Structure 1
Amino acid sequence: MKELDRLDRKILRTLQKEGRLTNIELADRVSLSPTATAERVRRLTRDGFIIGYMAILSPEKLGRNLLVFIEVKLDRTTPDVFDAFASAVKRSDDVMECHMVAGGFDYLVKARVAGMEAYRQFLSEVILPLPGVRETHTYAVMEEVKTGSALPV
C-alpha cells in the first residue's frame, strides 16, 4: 500500500466535507487534472482509505429527536453471548452504533428515538431482551455540542 502524500490527504479532507463533488469540482479544489484526480480517488478507494459515501439526514425532520447512549453489562462474557448480543443488536433500526468496550461495562449503544416514551419502549422491547443483558445505564443527550464522523487526515 502506497503512503499518502499531500494531495491524497487533501482529496480525503475535501471528500469528507463534501462527498457529492463531481470529479471536475474535486480536481479544481485540489489543483490537479481531472484524470489524475480520478485515478487517485480510484486508488484511495481500492486501498481502503475511502470505504463509502452517504447522505447525512436530519434526525429532527425524521422524528428522531432523542439521542441516547446506553451502557450495557452482560451477565456473562463468553463468545456465544457476545455473538448472540452482536447479532441481535444489528437487527435494530434504532441502534445507530454499538461498540464492545473495555472497562466497567461491556457495550456502549448509541440510539436515536422519537422521544422519552419511544425510548422506554425501545429499552423494554429491544435492549433488555437482548441475549445476556444484566444491567443498563442510559444517558439522554441534552445538547449535541459536536457531531461528525470526519477523521483527521
Structure 2
Amino acid sequence: MKQVELDKLDRRILDALQQDGRISNQLLAEQVGLSPAACWRRVRALEEAGVITGYTAKLCPEAMGQGLCVLVNLSLQRHTIDSTAEIEREVSSYPEVLQCFAVTGNADFVLRVVVPDMASYDRFLNEKIFTLKGIAQVNSNFALREIKNTLTLPVS
C-alpha cells in the first residue's frame, strides 16, 4: 500500500480518533479546529484512503475469561508457497489467535494466542496447531504480565 500524505489536521484527527473512536464528529471538529462538515469530509477521506481501517472496542481479556496469553513460535519443515499459504489460512481462522506474524530469525511465524487457562491451551495445541501439516517445531512463551499493549500508532 502506498503511503498517504497527511497534513497537521489529518494527524490531529487520527490522534483524537485513536484515543476515542466513539467521539462525535462535533466534538472531534472542535478538538482539531475544523467545522463539523470539513472534519467529516477529512475522516471520510482517511477511511477511503485506507488510513483508518475500522473502529473497535477494547476488551479486557481477564474480564472475558481469556487470561492466559501465549506467544507461540512456529517453525516450518519446508518453505513452499502452498504450504506456507495453507498454514497462514488455517492459523488466521483460529479465534484464539489474535495476531500472527511471518518473521525472520528462530521461527517462521509468531502467534499471539489468548485462552482461558493451561488446559485450554493444551487443547488448542493438540487440536489445532499440532494438526497443521508442515510444522517442524512449536515453542511457547507464556506472558507473566502485560507491560504495554497498544494499537495506537504515533502520528506526529
TM-score by structure 1 length?
0.96
1:35 aligns with 2:15: no
Task: Look up the equivalent residue of 2:135 and give its one-letter code.
Answer: V
Gaps of 5+ in 1: none
5 Å-filtered alignment, 1:81-96, equals: 81-96=83-98
Per-residue deviation, 1:25 = 1.1
Give 1:128's aligned residue.
130
Q: Following the alignment from structure 1 to structure 2, what is the Cα–Cα distance between the partners of residues 83 and 131?
A: 11
Is 2:149 aligned against 1:143? Answer: no
Per-residue Cα deviation, 1:88-134 (whole angstroms, up to 9, x for no partner): 11221111111111112110011100011111111111111112111
Q: Runs in 1 of length 4+ with deviation above 4 angstroms?
A: none
Secondary structure (helix, strand or coil) at the match of 2:27 reads: helix
The count of corresponding residues between Structure 1 and Structure 2 is 153
Partner Cα distance (1:130, 1:152) in 2: 37
Which residue is equivalent to 2:69? Answer: 67
Which of 77, 80, 90 is the equivalent residue of 1:78? 80
Task: Structure 2: give runs of 5+ residues left out of the alignment.
Answer: none
Q: Match for residue 22 of structure 1?
A: 24
Q: Percent same amino acid among aligned pairs?
A: 39
Query: How far apart are residue 86 of structure 1 and its match?
Result: 0.8
* 1:3 Cα offset (Å): 2.3
Q: Distance in 2 between matches of 1:86 and 1:148?
A: 24
8 Å Cα contact 2:29/2:35 also seen in 1: yes
Distance 1:124 1:2, change over 3 A: closer
Secondary structure of the 2:128 match is helix
Matched residue type, 1:150: T
**8 Å contact from structure 2 (residues 18, 152) kept in 1:** yes
SS in structure 2 of the partner of residue 128 of structure 1 = helix
Deviations 1:33-88 (Å, cap 9, x if unpaired)?
10110011011111111111111111112110000000000111111110110111
**Structure 1: distance between partners of 2:104 and 2:4:** 33
Specify which of 3, 10, 13 is matched with residue 12 of structure 2: 10
Question: SS at 2:85's partner residue?
Answer: helix
Structure 2 contact 4–51 (Cα < 8 Å) conserved: no
> Displacement, 1:2?
6.2
Normalising by structure 2, report the TM-score.
0.94
Distance in 2 separating the partners of 1:91 and 1:82: 14
* Amino acid aligned to 2:105: G
